[in-house]
A = this chain, B = another copy of it.
Amino acid sequence: MKTLPLSLVDVISNIKRCEARHATQARHRLDSLTKPIGSLGRLETLAVQFFSIYPGNIPLPLRRGVYVFAADHGVVAEGVSAYPPEVTAQMVRNFLTGGAAINVLARLHEAELTVIDVGVDAEFTGTPGLECAKVRRGSRNMRREPALSHDEVTAAIEVGIRMAAKASEKGEHLVAVGEMGIGNTTSASAITCLVTRLPPGEVTGRGTGLDMAGKDRKLNIIRRSLQLHFEAAAAIPEPLEILRCVGGLEIAAMTGFILAAAAKRMAIVCDGFISTAAAAIAFQMAPEVQEYLFAGHCSDEPGHRHLLKHIGLTPILNLGMRLGEGTGAVLAMPVIESAVRLFTEMATFSAAGVSKANE
Contacts and interface: CB of A to CB of B under 8 A. Distances in A.
A71 to B, nearest CB: 17
A5 B109 CA distance: 44
Looking at A36, A109, A316, which has the most chain B CB atoms within 10 Å of its CB?
Answer: A36
A35 B355 CA distance: 51
Contacts of A105: 338, 341-342
Contact of A355 (B90, B99, B353): B90
Given A91-B34, A94-B347, A346-B104, A323 B354 contact: no
Contacts of A353: 90, 93
A319 interface: yes
A137 interface: no
A261 to B, nearest CB: 23
Nearest to A315: B318
Nearest to A84: B355
Interface stretch (A40-48, A117-125, A160-168): A40-48
Copy tally for this chain in the complex stands at: 2
A300 interface: yes
Interface stretch (A240-248, A303-311, A329-337): A329-337
Given A84-B358, A105-B342, A358-B84, A37 B334 contact: no
Interface of A: 33-43, 82-84, 86-87, 90-91, 93-94, 97, 99-101, 103-105, 107-109, 208-209, 300, 316-323, 327, 331, 334-335, 337-338, 341-342, 345-347, 351-358
Given A36-B83, A83-B356, A104-B342, 10 more contacts: A41-B319, A41-B321, A83-B355, A83-B358, A86-B355, A90-B354, A99-B346, A104-B338, A105-B338, A334-B334
